[in-house]
Amino acid sequence: MLHILAEFFSAAARRYNQLTMNTATPRVPAIVLHKPLQALNTLGIAASATAYLPVSSYADLQAVRADQSLSTLPRLVLGGGSNLVLSSNFDGLVLHLVNQGKIVVGEDDNYTIVRAQAGENWHAFVQWTLNQNLPGLENLSLIPGSVGAAPIQNIGAYGSELKDFFHSLTYFDFATGEVCVLDRDACRFGYRDSIFKHELRNRAVILEVSFSFPRSWQPNLSYSELANEISARGLITPSAFEISEAVIAIRHRKLPDPAVIGNVGSFFKNPFVAHEIHGALKEKYPQLVSYPQADGSIKLAAGWLIDQCGWKGRSLGAAGVHEKQALVLINRGGASGADILKLAHAIHEDVRLRFGVTLEIEPVVI
């Protein structure tokens, strides 16, 4: 593993050094002005951007940075728009990652390393890895969005997280103009968290992501709903494909399709509380849904807390809470970002007053 790691890093650096030399005079990219963003965010909010650029290569970013009229604009990096709340029109430059491509870049007796460009669709990429006989990402099937955005919040579902199979990534640093490579530790992945939400916020544009697939694959059925679905299908030793199919079926049952009903999946993170607080809550609410963590803290199910406050299926104007899943806020048609945030605030306050627990919004609010 160490051997392919070292080779990988020097190859990435070589590739980008060549690019730097080839683009000494960066071309000015074709900017679109007053770009409507409704079709580019899964909440379907009718906002627009002052300027928009589909980014297909590192050279596009280099050109933006070299152009003073563009480099001074506020920037929004956009993938599939499935984890964004546009609270108003965006008065700046949207950089929409559309670069495509995925290849096996190295393998040894224990691991296979795969590299994918940021603009690749996440679910299509997962299916491609399964078709290459590289199991691992099956529990993360059908998560909307792009490969490039997946590390931002260390996407996770059904007992698995991106970091479990992450190898490294390459990003363009707007502050320095450099292309940098980060490995798993350097990304500081946490629960729906990474360095890109902190030090590298508003600075890094992820260009490509690499994954490491161990040859010794084991199914991950730690999440009881998935384990139940697998046994309901009569599967004793499920393949990665069969797990992917089960995950897809559960997600179709539970979550609204953003192509039909605007949403960003879970709107709030599951909150963590100390052992004593959990004990007090459990005494008062014996049905409390909670998951003990290895570090001694307890994760609460935000959806359960919201449901108990009576929000499931309710609306505030055109913004609503999904009928089947209290954690999912939806656009019932014509909701603005402000409408969605007003509803989120009302839910936040109800949960805080009733349970003394503070909910944190999961999507990025712009």
Which sequence positions are flagged as catalytic?
192, 266, 362
Quick one: 206 or 305, whose CB is closer to ligand FAD?
206
Compute CA distances 268 → 172, 180, 197, 260, 321, whole Å: 29, 31, 16, 21, 12
Task: Kindly state the smallest distance separating residue 25's Cβ from ligand FAD, in Å.
Answer: 25
Task: Kindly state the smallest distance separating residue 192's Cβ from ligand FAD, in Å.
Answer: 6
Quick one: 8 or 90, whose CB is closer to ligand FAD?
90
Task: Kindly state the smallest distance separating residue 297's Cβ from ligand FAD, in Å.
Answer: 20
Quick one: 171 or 355, whose CB is closer to ligand FAD?
171
Answer yes or no: are the C-beta atoms of 54 and 95 closer than 8 Å: no
The residues pairing with 75 across neighbouring beta strands, listed in sequence order, are: 93
- DSSP strand E in the chain: where? 32-36, 48-55, 75-78, 84-85, 90-97, 102-107, 111-117, 156-157, 160-161, 166-173, 179-183, 204-214, 262-266, 272-273, 290-292, 298-300, 315-316, 319-321, 328-331, 364-365
The C-alpha atoms of residue 250 and residue 262 are separated, in whole angstroms, by 19
Quick one: 98 or 281, whose CB is closer to ligand FAD?
98
**Closest by Cα among 350, 346, 347, 340 to 319:** 340
Task: Kindly state the smallest distance separating residue 317's Cβ from ligand FAD, in Å.
Answer: 21
The end-to-end CA distance of the chain, in Å, is: 40
Quick one: 116 or 157, whose CB is closer to ligand FAD?
157
- How are strands ordered across the β-sheet holding 290-292? 272-273, 298-300, 290-292
Q: Which residues bind ligand FAD (CB under 6 A)?
A: 42, 76-84, 97, 118, 143-146, 148-150, 152-153, 155-157, 204-206, 255, 258, 263-265, 364
Task: Kindly state the smallest distance separating residue 40's Cβ from ligand FAD, in Å.
Answer: 8
